[in-house]
Amino acid sequence: SYVLTQPPSVSVAPGKTARMTCGENNIGSKGVHWYQQKPGQAPVLVIYYNSDRPSGIPERFSGSNAGNTATLTISRVEAGDEADYYCQVWDSSSDQRGVFGGGTKLTVL
């Protein structure tokens, strides 16, 4: 069964690039989705199927997935990007089920 591993925290200065990882054996064979959650708000999808952006999500948000690691990259980080970020897959290897990573808190210094 899938267990998605995310670092608990990432810090970055404004204007720099933030990279958040999501690890699992052979995750590159899966479609990985990413969500942003700000305090007191519902999660928002920012990347689906590894690298696709929903409408309304800035081009500064991008994703990649290969081997054992998926990565969410935020370029030219802004203060408003400070949030929790979660990766997620749909595991159909045995029982069909959704799996979330533990989340990464992005702090903008």
Partner 1 sequence: EVQLLESGGGLVQPGGSLRLSCAASGLTFSNYAMSWVRQAPGKGLEWVSSISGSGVSTYYADSVKGRFTISRDNSKKTLYLQINSPRAEDTAMYYCAKGSSWFDPWGQGTLVTVSS
Which residues would be at the binding site for partner 1 (CB under 8 A)?
31, 33, 35, 37, 42-45, 48-49, 54, 84, 86, 88, 90, 95-103
Nearer to partner 1, 26 or 41 (CB): 41
Question: What are residue 27's phi and psi, to 5 degrees?
Answer: -65, -20
Cβ-count burial 37-59 (b if 16+ within 10 Å, e if not): eeeeeebeebbbebbebeeebee
Nearer to partner 1, 16 or 97 (CB): 97
Nearer to partner 1, 20 or 103 (CB): 103
